[in-house]
Amino acid sequence: MQLARKPRRRNTIVLTSLVDVLFVLLFFFMLVTTFADWRSWSMNLGGVGDDADSGAAIVEVQADGGLRLDGRASDAAQVEQRLRQPGARAVLVAGSGVSLQALIDMLDRFKPTGAALTLGRAADEPAAAGGASR
């Protein structure tokens, strides 16, 4: 006795549920993603020999997080008090070993004071100490 074989059905891959899952995942990740908050500052970039910053407070950010205001050790509250004066201007200088993030954090902190902030470059150590020996 010979039994008749049923014709084999060709297996097909159903992609409908896979596409549904991918859309749900895409939708989920779009909802939970935090988008970067881009901010910008308008800054004065002083030129060589520019007299615009004479009389401006020199604020040096140090690697340990400390601040120097016009060459003297200071804290952030004293610097903010000085920068809140009408017409205040400041040159923000990064000391040696200061990260860019620390400098940006100080810009964020001092921006609400309303002072005109300028980024400066630290003078060479011998020149700042009274001149280089020859």
Name the nearest CA neighbour of 55 among 95, 123, 132, 115: 115
Q: What is the pLDDT of residue 54?
A: 64
Reading the block at residue 69, the tokens are: 């205001």
Q: What is the pLDDT of residue 126?
A: 41
Domain residue spans of the chain: 56-122
Q: What is the pLDDT of residue 95?
A: 83
Q: What is the pLDDT of residue 20?
A: 92
Angle at 89 between CA 83 and CA 95, to 5 degrees: 85
Q: Which residues contact 109 (CB under 8 A, 6 or more apart)?
A: 76, 80
Residuewise pLDDT in 10s, the chain (134 residues): 677 887 777 777 788 888 999 999 999 988 888 776 666 656 555 554 454 456 788 888 888 888 888 888 888 888 888 888 888 888 888 888 888 888 888 888 888 888 888 887 766 544 444 444 43
Phi, psi angles (nearest 5°) of residue 22: -65, -40
